[in-house]
Amino acid sequence: MTKADTRSETSALRATWTAGRMHARRYRLLSRALRKRRQIRPVTDRTAQIRPADILCFSTVRNEATRLPFFLDYHRAQGVRHFLMVDNDSTDETRDYLAGQPDVSLWHTAYSYRLSRFGMDWLTWLQFRHGHGHWCLTLDADELLVYPHHDSRSLQDLTGWLDSRRTRAFGAIMLDLYPKGRLGAQNYRPGQNPLEVLRWFDEGNIFYKYQPNLQNLLVRGGVRRRVFFHSAPERSPTLSKTPLVRWHRRYVYVSSTHSVLPRWLNHVRGDIAGDPTSGVILHTKFLPEIVGKSRIEKRRREHFANSILYNSYYDGLMDDPVLWGPQSCEYEDWQQLERLGLLSRGGWM
């Protein structure tokens, strides 16, 4: 056997071992979600309203009463027909507001967000129970999905086209938006369009890294890398997501919506995917309330696996910084994002 043959055999064995490991990991995560289902209790269960062709949205929320009116209306206008949401023990009006929405099914839990894989165990159970066969959109309350033609075509149009291509997943890059002045100095009223306050993002500050185990292209960058993680860029938050999937009960997200199993669902960007249609998630985290919330979240230690590493991040937010700088670009529309290479129409014209 030649050295080339030996290398080829070793590579094949390694690939088989990795595939088996990812298969086992998928079923461990599904089993974990099955166990964690007892941690959530229904507040208002309207899932009997769900029709076979409905697009569903899944989210875990805590103290998001100011954002939710716009978040719901925005995605309703795109074509979401039902929202399945877990309230993680909110202390504001979040639970009462969501319970009163006719297209929302709501569950409550007081268990740890971090120890539930940042809410993904709870959502995995709901996706297993209610999402099978549906196009499922998984978002946080501070995320707004943008896709090509979203101003003139619905999610039903997009998913119908994806179905015609036998494509089961749609990828997006998260884009951090911020204001021009200090974060806490902005004016924002509950239910207002956050894009009226957060108009800017970092242009060109995007970095890619392929992860062979999960076969996904990891994306980092943006203002958080520039301002808060410049000394440890490898620890900056991940921006690549696969938020929209035609769900099967055997699927599971691995880390938030950054990666999903089976691995082929991660083929939504990069060379391995060709030229797929892709979108952007507008991340509206930096509303003025972030300054006060950072004090609370630093104390709770619920948002990062190693919260100590993120102490300086929270400290920076508590200082009420100005994120705007020479590399800041004002947000316009999805065509601008396409010109910058952040989303793609692919073959969908």
Tokens linked to 13 = 């064995």
In DSSP notation, 299-349 reads HHT-SSTTGGGGHHHHHHHHT--B---TTEEE---HHHHHHTTSSB-TT--
Q: What phi and psi, each to the nearest 5 degrees, are found at residue 88? A: -90, 65
For the record, the structure tokens of 257 come out as 């919506």
Please state, in angstroms and rounded to a whole number, the distance separating the CA atoms of residues 99 and 106: 6
| Per-residue pLDDT, 84 | 98
Token pair for residue 49? 């309203």
- Plot region of 213 (φ>0 → left; ψ -120 to 50 → alpha; else → beta): alpha
Q: 60 pairs with which residues across the strands?
A: 86
Sites in the chain below the pLDDT cut of 70: 1, 3-11, 301-309
End-to-end C-alpha distance for the chain, whole angstroms: 51
Q: What share of the chain is helix, strand, coil (3-state, %, to 5)?
A: 40, 25, 40
Q: Is the peptide bond before 288 cis (omega within 30 degrees of 0)?
A: no
pTM of the entire predicted model: 0.94
pLDDT at position 315: 87
Cβ(123)–Cβ(138) under 8 Å?
yes
Q: Give me the pLDDT at residue 142, please.
A: 97
Are 180 and 200 a contacting pair, CB within 8 Å? yes
CA distance 132 to 248: 5
Residue 306 is predicted with a pLDDT of 57
The pLDDT score that the predictor gives to residue 283 is: 98
Burial class (CB in 10 A: 0-12, 13-18, 19+), 247: buried
Amino acid residing at 130? H
Return the closest-CA partner of residue 142 out of 310, 348, 297: 297
Instruction: Look at residues 345, 342, 318, 304 and name the one whose alpha carbon lies nearest to residue 202.
Output: 342
Give me the half-sphere count of Cα atoms (radius 13 Å) on the Cβ side of residue 247: 27
- The CA R_g of the chain, rounded to the nearest whole Å, is 20
Phi-psi region of 223 (alpha: psi -120 to 50; beta: other; left: phi over 0): alpha
